[in-house]
Amino acid sequence: MAATNLKKRVIISGATGFIGQHLVPMLLRGGYEITALARDSARARSFDWFPEVDFIAHDIHGIAALTLNNASGATLIHLAWPGLPNYKSLFHLEENLPKSYAFIEHMLKQEVERVLVTGTCFEYGMQSGCLRADSPTQPANPYALAKDTLRKQLHFLQEQHPFTLQWARLFYMHGAGQNPKSVLAQLDAAIERGDTVFNMSGGEQLRDYLPVTVVAQQLAALLKKPSGIYNICSGTPISIRRLVEQRIQERGAKIEINLGYYPYPDYEPMAFWGEPSVKAEQ
């Protein structure tokens, strides 16, 4: 294959996950050749894009190492990260961290040239206000610590094995395929059931939300950018109460919100949002 085409080859772990299921078709439309990795082949076949990718059923936590014949010169987009949204589980440190590092290192040995890993806004810890991509990290839960440690490990790996490393810190997302435990997914489920009341927290916490399709656009735009740390976010804070009220209005639903039913999460500050690092190309 010509060298110019190698840069258009992408390997995506977690291709059937919340982000991956939207990123794959977007990159296909952009002319990328995709090797899609995920554990569940039956789930992968449920997506319209399945016939257009080279799909490999693979669990990065498994024993068998993955060997690809077409990895040389490709980009690896590492999305796979099981165990969410249980941010406090030690599984992230004991399993996800070493297995993700070993997987990425193995792919680099197969001559992958660029690695894009999705991190998390939780790496900033309990800091409030607008957070820049160069803000110091202060992870305050096992999930955030595992992600932040992986990034630091990969920086050391760059010294031994030069490659382009992009770290994309994700803020909050919503859209098709979101985790059923997320606030908007729970609200939608309550509306579908015909519930008259939706129990939630006080709702005054400020967060940074993007549609998952826009998140995918921003990640795709990173493929044309250099090594670095990037915030994937809107830059516009919104209260959880307002987010819920907007969804109820959009759906024309008749449901009352019961504020203060749940306590505020103790693993994140009351008000934080990101300074966007990249704008997706329109």
Q: What is the pLDDT of residues 51-85, one digit of tens each?
A: 999 999 999 888 677 889 889 999 999 999 999 99
Residue 101, domain CATH? 3.40.50.720
Same domain, 135 and 152: yes
Tens-place pLDDT, residues 192-221: 999 999 999 999 999 999 999 999 999 999
CB proximity list for 150: less than 8 A, separation 6 or greater:
97, 100, 101, 117
Please give the tally of structural domains in the chain. Answer: 2
Q: What pLDDT is stored for residue 282 in this prediction?
A: 39
Range of the domain at 15: 3-173+209-232
Average pLDDT of the chain to the nearest whole number? 94
Q: What pLDDT is stored for residue 2 in this prediction?
A: 39
Contact between 278 and 235 (Cβ < 8 Å): no
* Integer CA distances (angstroms), 281 to 8, 67, 105, 222, in order: 17, 33, 31, 10
Same domain, 126 and 136: yes
Return the percent helix, strand and coil in the chain, to nearest 5.
35, 20, 45
Q: What pLDDT is stored for residue 279 in this prediction?
A: 75
Is 35 exposed, middle or buried, given 0-12, 13-18 or 19+ CB atoms closer than 10 A?
Answer: buried
Query: 103 falls in which pLDDT band (50, 70, 90)?
Result: very high
